[in-house]
Amino acid sequence: MSEPRTVGIGQMAVCHAPEQIVCLGLGSCVAIILYDPVARIGGVVHVLLPKSPVKCDNEEKYADTGTRKLVKEMLNHGVKKERLVAKLVGGAQMFPNLNLAIANIGRENSMTVRNVLRELMIRIVAEDLGGNRGRSAYFNTSDGHVTVKTAFEPVKVL
């Protein structure tokens, strides 16, 4: 199998089976992972902030515009919207004792993504969100499985 595609903060990737897409070290960021199991096409966007300003420089950085852009990009690749399912990973609160408004941005990111997906009528089939731990997500576009690794806890498969 070829090298997995790594998707960093504010980046997006759409791949065909059997490629793998990886997001490393998600803290308050959220990885939105979409999959069409029939076309076997998967897409990931790694968002950092919840809502984009009106004039937006980088749509992939924000939960709202990033999710919409990913769906659009996947439709361009020939997926059917009715078949798309979503898995969400990240949205942790890394510094719970930090007395700054931004400390809980992970929760806002998660809520924004959920709302946008509901609007677009895309079903969330699994999620590993919140808590105080960083996560890495390994997405296999052959079967749609997402393996979630954390620093010290056992591996989960979504």
Residues at the site binding another protein, with contacts judged by CB under 8 A: 8-11, 24-29, 48-49, 57-58, 61, 92, 94-100, 102-103, 105-106, 132-136, 149, 151-152
Task: Dump the DSSP string for 27-77.
Answer: SS-EEEEEEETTTTEEEEEEE-BSS--SS-S-GGGBHHHHHHHHHHHHHHT
Among the listed residues 63, 53, 88, the one whose alpha carbon sits nearest the alpha carbon of residue 10: 63
For residue 139, the tally of other CB atoms under 10 A from its CB is: 29
The CA distance from 139 to 16, in Å, is 12
Q: Tell me whether residue 75 or residue 155 sits nearer to another protein (CB atom).
A: 155
Cβ 149 to another protein shortest distance, Å: 8
Active site residues: 29
Cβ 158 to another protein shortest distance, Å: 18
Q: Tell me whether residue 14 or residue 92 sits nearer to another protein (CB atom).
A: 92
Cβ 150 to another protein shortest distance, Å: 8
Cβ 142 to another protein shortest distance, Å: 22
Q: Tell me whether residue 22 or residue 85 sits nearer to another protein (CB atom).
A: 22
Q: Tell me whether residue 6 or residue 142 sits nearer to another protein (CB atom).
A: 6
**Burial class of 94 by CB neighbour count within 10 A (0 to 12, 13 to 18, 19+):** middle
Specify whether the CB–CB gap between 92 and 31 falls below 8 A.
no
